[in-house]
C-alpha cells in the first residue's frame, strides 16, 4: 500500500489538491489525526483542511479529498469528519480518486489494488473490475458536475 512517506509524492499531492481549494496540514508522527473518520492513520477532513501523516495511505488522502471536491459549498462549510453523501456520490468519489491517483503518477492498477487491500467493496469484486466495467454511472455523476471530462 502506497503511503505518504515520499517527499515528491507529498509535494505533488499538495499541488494537486490545492487546485480544488484544499489545504493539507501535516501531522507529526505519533500525533492524532484530526477529523479522521476511520481512525489513524487514515486521513482526516475538517472543512477545507485535509489532515495527513507520513503513514497515511495515499488512497485515504485521495478518498477524503474527493469527498470534499464532490460536495457543494454549504456541505464543505459544515464539514467535520463525516463527509456523508449518498451512494451515487460515494461511487463518484471512488472513481475520482482513481483518476486523481493517475495525475500523481500512480497507475490505475496500483490505485485499485490499494483500494482492494484496504477493503473497499464493489459489485464485481474489485475496484479495477468496477472501474472498467461497472462505473459508468459514477463517471456520469462527475461529468454532470464538471468534475470529469465527457
- Per the CB < 8 A criterion, the answer to whether 20 and 65 are in contact is yes
Q: How far apart are CA 112 and CA 127, in angstroms?
A: 5
Query: How many Å apart are CA 58 and CA 37, to the nearest integer?
Result: 15
pLDDT in tens, 58-116: 999 999 999 999 999 999 999 999 999 999 999 999 999 999 999 999 999 999 999 99
Quote the cell numbers at residue 56. Answer: 497515511
Query: What is the rounded end-to-end Cα distance, in angstroms, of the chain?
Result: 30
Question: Can you tell me the mean pLDDT for 12-19?
Answer: 98
The domain locations on the chain are 7-78, 87-144
pLDDT score recorded for residue 11: 97
Distance set, CA 107 to CA 2, 68, 101 (Å)? 11, 23, 7
Q: Are 3 and 55 in contact (CB under 8 A)?
A: yes
What's the predicted TM-score (pTM) here? 0.95
The conformation of residue 24, written as its DSSP 8-state character, comes to E
Cα dihedral sign, 130-136-141-142: positive
**Closest by alpha carbon to 96, among 124, 38, 135, 134?**
135
Amino acid at each position: 500500500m502506497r503511503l505518504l512517506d515520499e517527499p515528491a509524492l507529498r509535494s505533488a499531492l499538495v499541488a494537486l489538491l490545492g487546485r480544488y481549494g484544499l489545504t493539507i496540514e501535516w501531522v507529526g508522527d505519533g500525533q492524532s489525526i484530526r477529523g479522521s473518520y476511520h481512525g489513524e492513520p487514515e486521513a482526516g477532513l475538517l472543512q477545507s483542511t485535509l489532515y495527513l501523516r507520513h503513514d497515511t495511505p495515499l488512497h485515504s488522502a485521495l478518498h477524503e479529498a474527493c469527498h470534499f471536491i464532490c460536495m457543494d459549498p454549504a456541505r464543505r462549510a459544515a464539514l467535520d469528519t463525516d463527509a456523508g453523501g449518498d451512494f451515487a456520490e460515494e461511487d463518484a468519489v471512488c472513481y475520482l480518486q482513481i483518476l486523481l491517483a493517475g495525475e500523481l503518477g500512480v497507475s490505475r492498477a496500483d490505485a485499485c489494488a490499494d483500494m482492494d487491500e484496504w477493503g473497499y467493496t464493489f459489485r464485481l469484486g474489485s475496484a479495477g473490475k468496477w472501474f472498467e466495467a461497472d462505473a459508468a454511472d459514477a463517471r456520469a455523476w462527475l461529468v454532470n458536475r464538471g468534475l470529469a471530462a465527457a
